[in-house]
A and B are shown apart, each in its own frame.
Chain A
Amino acid sequence: MTTVLIADDDADIRDLVSFKLEQANFQVTAVADGESALAVAREQHPRLAVLDIAMPGMSGVDVCRLLRGDPSTKDMMIILLTARVQEHDIEGGFSAGADDYVTKPFSPRELVSRVEALLARARP
Chain B
Amino acid sequence: MRTTSVERLLNRAFGTLMVLILAAGAAGIAASALQYQSIQLLTERVVPLRLANKQLHNEMSQAQSALRGYLLLGDPALLAEHRRHAAQQPLAVARMRELARVDADRADIDDQDLAAQAWRDHALVQTRTAPRSAAALVTSERGRRLYAPMIVANARMDARLAADADRLRARAATIRSVTLTTSLLTIIAAALVAALTAVRVFSRINAPLQDIVRVLDRLRHGEVGVRAPDNSGLVEIRAVVQALNELADTNDRARRSAAERTRLDGAAREVGIDIRQHMSVASAIEAAAAGLGRMLAAEHVLVRLPDGQNCLWSDADAAPDASDALRRYLDLPLELALFDTDTSSFGWAADQPGPTPLSDRQADVLTAAGAHSVLVIAFRDPDTPAIGTVTVVRTEPDAAAAFTEGEVQVTEGLVAGFRRGLAKAQLFEQEQELVRRLKALDQAKTDFMSTVSHELRTPLTSISGYLEMLRDGDAGEISDDQDRMLAVIERNTSRLRSLIEDLLVLSRIEAGALRLHRSPCDIGPLVDAAVAAMLPAAEENGVQLNAEIETGLVAFVDPAQFDRVLVNLLNNAVKFTPGGGEVTVLARHDADGVLVRVADTGIGIPEAEQPELFTRFFRASNAIERAIPGTGLGLPIVRTIIVRHGGHIAVESALDRGTIVTVRVPDQAHTPAETQPAAVGAPEAP
Chain A interface residues (CB < 8 Å from chain B):
10, 12-13, 16, 19-20, 23, 54, 83-87, 103-109
B448 contacts the other chain (CB 8 A): no
Q: In chain A, what residue has the closest Cβ to B493?
A: A105
Chain B interface residues (CB < 8 Å from chain A):
454-455, 457-458, 460-466, 468-469, 472, 474, 493, 497, 504, 508, 513, 515
**Could you list some 28 contacts between A and B, CB below 8 A?**
A10-B461, A13-B458, A13-B461, A16-B462, A16-B469, A19-B469, A19-B474, A20-B469, A23-B474, A83-B454, A83-B457, A83-B458, A83-B461, A84-B454, A85-B504, A104-B457, A104-B458, A104-B460, A105-B457, A105-B460, A105-B461, A105-B464, A105-B465, A105-B493, A106-B465, A107-B464, A108-B465, A109-B472
CA distance A23 to B473 in the complex (A): 12
CA distance A84 to B450 in the complex (A): 9
Chain A residues near B462: list those with CB within 8 A. Answer: 10, 12-13, 16
Chain B residues near A19: list those with CB within 8 A. Answer: 469, 474
Chain B residues near A87: list those with CB within 8 A. Answer: 515
Return the contact of A86 from the options B460, B472, B513 (Cβ within 8 A): B513
CB distance from A123 to the nearest CB of B (A): 26
Given A10-B458, A12-B462, A108-B468, 8 additional A-B pairs, CB 8 A = A12-B466, A13-B461, A16-B462, A85-B504, A104-B457, A104-B460, A105-B457, A107-B468
Count A-B pairs with CB separation below 8 Å: 53
Chain B residues near A12: list those with CB within 8 A. Answer: 462, 466
CA distance A54 to B460 in the complex (A): 15
CB distance from B455 to the nearest CB of A (A): 8
CA distance A24 to B515 in the complex (A): 40
Chain A residues near B469: list those with CB within 8 A. Answer: 16, 19-20, 108
Chain B residues near A23: list those with CB within 8 A. Answer: 474
Most buried by B among A12, A23, A54, A104: A104
Q: Which 7 A-B pairs have the closest CB atoms?
A: A83-B457, A105-B461, A12-B462, A104-B461, A105-B460, A104-B457, A83-B454
CB distance from B670 to the nearest CB of A (A): 27
Q: A23-B474, A83-B458 are in contact. Are A107 and B515 (CB under 8 A)?
A: no
CB distance from B10 to the nearest CB of A (A): 110
Q: In chain B, what residue has the closest Cβ to A54?
A: B454
CB distance from A24 to the nearest CB of B (A): 11
CA distance A108 to B462 in the complex (A): 10
CA distance A54 to B450 in the complex (A): 14
CA distance A33 to B457 in the complex (A): 19
Return the contact of B465 from the options A13, A83, A84, A103 (Cβ within 8 A): A13
